[in-house]
Amino acid sequence: MSYTSRVLEESIEKNANEPEFQQALTEILPTLQPIIEENPQYEQAKILERLVEPERSIIFRVPWVDDKGEIQINRAYRVQFNSAIGPFKGGMRFHPSVNLSVIKFLGFEQIFKNSLSGLAIGGGKGGSDFDPKDKSEREVMVFCQSLMNELYKHLGANQDVPAGDIGVGGREIGYMFGQYKRLTDQFEGVFTGKGIPYGGSLGRTEATGYGLMYMVECMLETKGESLVGKKVAISGSGNVAIYAVEKAQQLGATVITVSDSNGYVYDPEGIDLALVKEIKEVRRGRIKEYVDVRVNAEYVENGLVWSVPCDIALPCATQNELLLDGATKLIENGCTIVAEGSNMSTSLDATHLLLENNVFYAPGKASNAGGVSVSALEMAQNASWTPWTAEEVDVKLRVIMRNIFTNSYNAAEKYGMKGNLSVGANIAGFKKVADAMMLQGAV
Ligand code: NDP
Ligand code: 2IT
């Protein structure tokens, strides 16, 4: 049995109740086989056995008092997966579906993504099963403060630097950062995605969505095409989706869908982004409100957004949102590019189907790396007490996304899998981390 198969089998058994983590392991480990064969020292040094085991996992209670005066208890996590190439770095997710398996899959993916960014950031992820959706401003604040009363002990600008993810945006980061500062008396770059008045980077809010479109530009260039005139289907209507819509429109595409967990909107004229921002960023409302204003658009409750014909599909909501049925529809309708804004958007069987049908596919760890990359740029600005302009950040983001594309593309080609960005991204991300671990001894 090959080394990668053996470690996969052992880690699946060891993490028996963690389906999302198992899925990430199954997606990544087998693709590393060629680089493992080329570098027998990795097996000797048990690099894979070490890589699949987080350096530290913290699970803790978050008690808080709701608006009725009742005590509520949530569970929170921080999985500090790998710090071989830099401080732990990765977002916090607040969503009722959060559990250890979800946080571990996200943290594991983050190791490779952060390495691909070319910047000095290790992999980590955290979150809680808290649902900010139905909570008042005060409840969100006291929850964030209570969570930090424990988490602050494990964070630091050179130790572990969280950011946002599903359910965690500028508001939540502000409350968590404020509580960290209060508890430690330190003003340091311990979160990214901070507000601009207190050390946030210009361009971080837009970075994931914009970066995704810069990646799609690179994919199109290989076919001598551009975004002009392309029909783009996007799922989600949160941070990543909104700024993917914005950049896609700026680059000449027509975005025809957005969604949330209740349904999708199909607007053949092109999504009215100002309206989506008003509903989602200002009112924190539901996407179905879109058709109250844009009466010619259609709202489909619980529908399959991937059944809308498009040239390019960009899942930007959550994991496993593009399954076999969706992939089949996309292929039938002539879609030629799928690039993931969300993490592990596509199930393994759906990914295989897309690849078999020559759909050019970019995995989230490559195509959504713009967010964490600008986070690392925020850390650099904080460390030097010097803010950069939005233009400087955007230029750097675009260069980073192009490098990620090229490095992933070239790695796939080198190992005889030309065009398979999934394999390429895994190999390119793995190499730097593995070499850093080798150089640091058995740690
Ligand atoms: P937001 O909370 O801003 O938005 C999430 C969107 O996805 C909402 O429209 C939400 O709908 C929808 N969604 C969430 N969970 C589900 C679900 N279970 N089923 C269907 N729809 C769902 O999060 P982000 O935009 O920040 O994150 C979206 C994805 O991008 C995640 O996978 C995240 O890990 C990834 N990502 C985020 C980065 C960032 O910088 N923010 C960076 C890289 C990746 P509803 O309101 O109904 O829940
Ligand atoms: O999945 C991700 O890369 C993020 N949620 C962003 C992480 C970060 O530290 O900016």
Ligand 2 atom with the smallest distance to the CA of 114 is 3
Ligand 1 atom with the smallest distance to the CA of 375 is 40
Interval 84-106: pLDDT, tens: 999 999 999 999 999 999 999 99
Give the pLDDT of residue 354. 98
227 alpha-carbon distance from chain centroid: 23
Q: Is the dihedral of CA 287, 289, 295, 299 positive or negative?
A: positive
- From 368, 353, 356, select the one nearest 405 (Cα to Cα): 368
Beta strands in 217-268 (DSSP E): 231-234, 254-260, 263-266
pTM reported for the whole predicted model: 0.98
Half-sphere exposure of 380 (CA within 13 A, CB side): 15
**Secondary structure element (H or E) that encloses residue 348, with its range:** helix 348-356
pLDDT over 90 (residue 281): yes
Give the pLDDT of residue 205. 98
Q: For 256, list phi and psi in degrees, rounded to 5.
A: -110, -10
Percent of the chain with pLDDT over 90: 100
Phi-psi region of 233 (alpha: psi -120 to 50; beta: other; left: phi over 0): beta
Give the pLDDT of residue 8. 98
- Rounded to whole angstroms, the Cα distance separating 194 from 197 reads 8
As for ligand 2, residues whose beta carbon falls within 6 Å of it are: 89-91, 113, 163, 165, 192, 343, 371-372, 375
- Rounded to whole angstroms, the Cα distance separating 105 from 148 reads 23
Distance from the CA of 166 to the center of ligand 1, in angstroms? Answer: 4
- Rounded to whole angstroms, the Cα distance separating 61 from 51 reads 27
The Cα angle at residue 409 between residues 35 and 24, in degrees rounded to 5: 60
- From 300, 360, 298, 296, select the one nearest 330 (Cα to Cα): 360
Average pLDDT, the chain: 98
Distance from the CA of 157 to the center of ligand 1, in angstroms? Answer: 26
- Rounded to whole angstroms, the Cα distance separating 322 from 304 reads 9
Tokens at 35, concatenated:
């680089």
Distance from the CA of 58 to the center of ligand 2, in angstroms? Answer: 18
Residues 6+ apart with CB under 8 A from 199: 187, 189, 378, 381, 382
Percent of the chain with pLDDT over 70: 100
Interval 235-260: pLDDT, tens: 999 999 999 999 999 999 999 999 99
Contact yes or no for 410/98 (Cβ under 8 A):
no
- Ligand showing the shortest atom-to-Cα distance for residue 240: 1
Distance from the CA of 2 to the center of ligand 2, in angstroms? Answer: 32
Beta strands in 71-152 (DSSP E): 71-82, 88-94, 122-128
Ligand 1 atom with the smallest distance to the CA of 343 is 32
Give the pLDDT of residue 443. 85
- Rounded to whole angstroms, the Cα distance separating 236 from 313 reads 12
pLDDT over 90 (residue 171): yes
| Catalytic residue flag (residue 125) | yes
Residues 6+ apart with CB under 8 A from 170: 164, 193, 194, 195, 200, 205
pLDDT over 90 (residue 432): yes
Of 89, 113, 125, 135, the catalytic one is 125
Bridge partner residues of 233 (DSSP)? 257, 313
Which residue minimizes the CA distance to atom 3 of ligand 2?
372
- Ligand showing the shortest atom-to-Cα distance for residue 345: 1
What is the mean pLDDT of the segment spanning 262-287? 98
Q: For 277, list phi and psi in degrees, rounded to 5.
A: -60, -40
The total of other beta-carbon atoms located within 10 Å of residue 216's CB is 29
Which residue minimizes the CA distance to atom 10 of ligand 2?
372
DSSP state of 177: H
As for ligand 1, residues whose beta carbon falls within 6 Å of it are: 95, 164-167, 208, 236-241, 260-262, 316-318, 341-343, 368, 371
- Rounded to whole angstroms, the Cα distance separating 412 from 420 reads 6
Residues 6+ apart with CB under 8 A from 108: 21, 24, 25, 28, 52, 81, 123
Give the pLDDT of residue 242. 98
Interval 329-376: pLDDT, tens: 999 999 999 999 999 999 999 999 999 999 999 999 999 999 999 999
Ligand 1 atom with the smallest distance to the CA of 242 is 25
- Ligand showing the shortest atom-to-Cα distance for residue 341: 1
Q: For 84, list phi and psi in degrees, rounded to 5.
A: -60, -35
Integer CA distances (angstroms), 398 to 208, 214, 242, in order: 11, 6, 18
Angle of helix 19-28 relative to helix 100-116, nearest 10 degrees?
30
Interval 187-229: pLDDT, tens: 999 999 999 999 999 999 999 999 999 999 999 999 999 999 9
What is the mean pLDDT of the segment spanning 307-312? 98
Distance from the CA of 101 to the center of ligand 1, in angstroms? Answer: 17
